[in-house]
Amino acid sequence: MRLLPIRIAAVTALFCTQPFQPDANAWHDKTHLSVAEAAGFELWYSSAAPDVAKSKEMFGPVESPNHYYNNNANKPVTPEMVMAQVGRYNQTNDDEGHLYGAIIGAVRDYQTMKKSGKYANYPLVYCAHYCGDLSMPLHNTPYDDFNKQRHSINDGIIEFSVRNNIGYIQRMMRPPVINSEADLAREIAVVAESARKLGLKIRKENRDMTVDESYTQVIRSASLFNAILAWLERTQKTAGEKAVVMQ
């Protein structure tokens, strides 16, 4: 599992007093696994692990805010909003959350570990999970009574069918082209804004998501994560070719 840079004995009391959203999972486990598998991630079977990590009392205040952005001001999501959250990745005491920045933060962790020669796939487990969270409407809107009352049922709209529909998700995927962090911020904003708008729609109509709406959203998540994986693979291949030339 990913090791957090903390000294447990020194921070126990502090963590127990930090505000966070402990019960707001986005999509249930099988849905997260299916997003990651459809995207072509080798460790797809680990992509629900970040929810396990944040369920630990010690790690919840660090990990939980990485899973949502409440957008209390109800502003359209922009690339600038995404980038403004990156520095908050893994920070406590952020009740509104910083999901968008967490995706880029996890990618940066991967890049840093890869450059140092360390095994770097664990940050991508977190990235896979955050990309799944990104398309869930109730993780992009205020955590109000509507959100609290309907969160669990909307997490599980397709939970019992999704493992049988990975091929469908893959056929419907339209991965964007990502060649830079700026491109990534733009595409995060696109998926997040689609989720925010759907969240507003189901609030206005006082209902849960439909099955079709849920699949549309997870297809967006899988497409984004597939594009991230493709970008990182191209980057590593280019770096390897440069290293060979310089030898």
Residue 77 lies in a domain: yes
Residue 115 lies in a domain: yes
Contacts of 135 (CB under 8 A, 6+ apart): 191, 194, 195, 217, 218, 220, 221
Residue 217 lies in a domain: yes
Provide the whole-model pTM.
0.88
Retrieve residue 166's tokens.
């990975």
Domain extent at residue 74: 39-233
Retrieve residue 77's tokens.
């999501």
CATH code where residue 55 lies:
1.10.575
For the chain, 247 residues long, give each residue's pLDDT as a single digit of tens: 333 333 333 333 333 334 445 455 679 999 999 999 999 999 999 999 999 999 999 999 999 999 999 999 999 999 999 999 999 999 999 999 999 999 999 999 999 999 999 999 999 999 999 999 999 999 999 999 999 999 999 999 999 999 999 999 999 999 999 999 999 999 999 999 999 999 999 999 999 999 999 999 999 999 999 999 999 999 987 766 554 434 4
Residue 90 lies in a domain: yes
Residue 185 lies in a domain: yes
Residue 10 lies in a domain: no
Question: CB under 8 Å, gap of 24 or more: what pairs does 211-216 form?
Answer: 211/157, 211/158, 211/161, 214/154, 214/157, 214/158, 215/158, 215/165, 215/168, 215/169, 215/172
Domain count for the chain, please give it. 1
